[in-house]
Amino acid sequence: MSDLRVRYMGLDLSNPFVVSSSSLTDSVDKVRACADAGAGAVVLKSLFEEEIQAEIDASADGAEHTEAADYIREIQTGAGLKRYVDLIRGSKDAVDIPVIASINAVTRNWWEEHVPALEQAGADAIELNISLMPYDYRDDEAAISEFYVKTVESVKRLVSIPVAVKIGHYFSSIPAIVDRLRWSGATAVVLFNRFYQLDIDVENFRLRSGSPMSSPADLAFPLRWITMIYGKTEAQLAASGGVHSGEAAVKALLAGAQVTQVCSTLYRNGLDHLETMKTELLAWMDKHSYERIDQFRGKMSQKRSSQPETFERLQYIKALVGQS
């Protein structure tokens, strides 16, 4: 029987399926359900910066609540810092698998005070979801990258547990930002975050949100970049986006992913799907006579390609001329 164990950010996982940050992991009971269903690790639902702000506002004696603060309170999607700390503690008591805390942030002001609480609560690692959506044409590209780097540096000064950064795919150079994040102190980079999807209601002239769920086709994004980056930076790479089956996980691992993060497929198919994906991965490994994941991780990466210089260009040309 093949062995699915992997190491991610220095943590031992029984398998490479990590339940990604979402409402699948926003309570101790749900974290326990993920562990019982066979997850290799969980990333807790993100603590949103606005929630921390709202908690501070609420505890300020006699302070008047601004309209903005009320709005923030309305859009709160989870617990404040104290409840988040309780979620970490409760999860750590309830399960044996690694528990990764997650913070979704747009500014750096609050890190200094609040990040250490997550480590003290027992989180095994922290995933930073730096959801910066540059909407102002005056936002300089170099300054945006700098924000990511400085944020990681600040967090690393405050905690000793490993830090992963989850990024979106809108960068001029994904390999360059991944490498910079590694040198700033990130052990792993999660490729990719799924941004809020925008849609327009054409009858009522209103903006509305598109589906938050991915489709299997979304795997193309992490696959492209992980095949390109694997082995060229010391950052470990987690594939997130479009991993819906055991076969998709095989692809992500062949590209060079250390682990795969799964979310939409579990919303669609239930947590039992974790077992199905593990069985599919094991069947593929048996068929190809692999006993361990590190025997084939990165096998399809550019680094392992016989023609590394023309790797990506070759795939592009093949697509244009219709060869698979």
Ligand X SMILES: Cc1cc2nc3c(=O)[nH]c(=O)nc-3n(C[C@H](O)[C@H](O)[C@H](O)COP(=O)(O)O)c2cc1C
Binding residues for ligand X, rule: CB under 6 A, are: 20-23, 45-46, 102, 104, 129, 166, 193-194, 212-214, 218, 240-243, 262-264
Q: Minimal distance in Å, beta carbon 44 to ligand X?
A: 9
Q: Which is nearer to ligand X, 149 or 213 (CB)?
A: 213
Beta carbon of residue 248, minimum distance to ligand X (angstroms, whole number) = 9
CA distance linking residue 246 with residue 24, whole number of Å: 19
Q: What residues are paired with 19 via a beta bridge?
A: 42, 262
| Bond from prior residue into 311 cis (ω within 30 degrees of 0) | no
The full DSSP string for 140-198 is -HHHHHHHHHHHHHHHHHH--S-EEEEE-S--S-HHHHHHHHHHHT-SEEEE---PPPE
Instruction: For ligand X, give the closer residue by CB, 204 or 209.
Output: 209
Give the relative orientation of helices 49-59 and 67-74 as an angle to the nearest 10 degrees. Answer: 120
Min dist. Cβ of residue 239 to ligand X (A) = 9
Please state the closest distance from residue 176 (CB atom) to ligand X, in A.
Answer: 22
**Identity of the amino acid at 130:** I
Q: Token match 């780097």: residue?
A: 149
- In the bound state with ligand X, the residue whose beta carbon lies nearer, of 20 and 302, is 20
Which is nearer to ligand X, 180 or 273 (by Cβ)? 273
Instruction: Output the six-digit token pair for 64.
Output: 């008047």
- The interaxial angle of helices 111-120 and 141-158, nearest 10 deg, is 40
CB of 293 to ligand X, least distance (A): 19
Minimum CB distance to ligand X smaller for 240 or for 302:
240
69 CB neighbour count, 10 Å cutoff: 18
Q: Which residues contact 150 (CB under 8 A, 6 or more apart)?
A: 108, 184
Least spacing, CB of residue 171 vs ligand X, in Å: 16
> Least distance in Å: CB of 131 to ligand X?
8
Residue 23 or 310: the one with the smaller Cβ distance to ligand X is 23
Question: What is the helix (H) or strand (E) element at residue 104, kind and residue range?
Answer: strand 99-105
Nearer to ligand X, 184 or 240 (CB): 240
Tokens found for residue 89: 């503690």
Q: How far is the CB of 214 from ligand X (least distance, A)?
A: 3
Report helix, strand or coil for 291.
coil
Structure tokens at 241: 């986006």
Q: What angle do CA 41, 164, 247 make, to 5 degrees?
A: 50
Of 83 and 313, the one with the shorter C-beta distance to ligand X is 83
Tell me phi and psi for residue 251, to 5 degrees: -60, -45
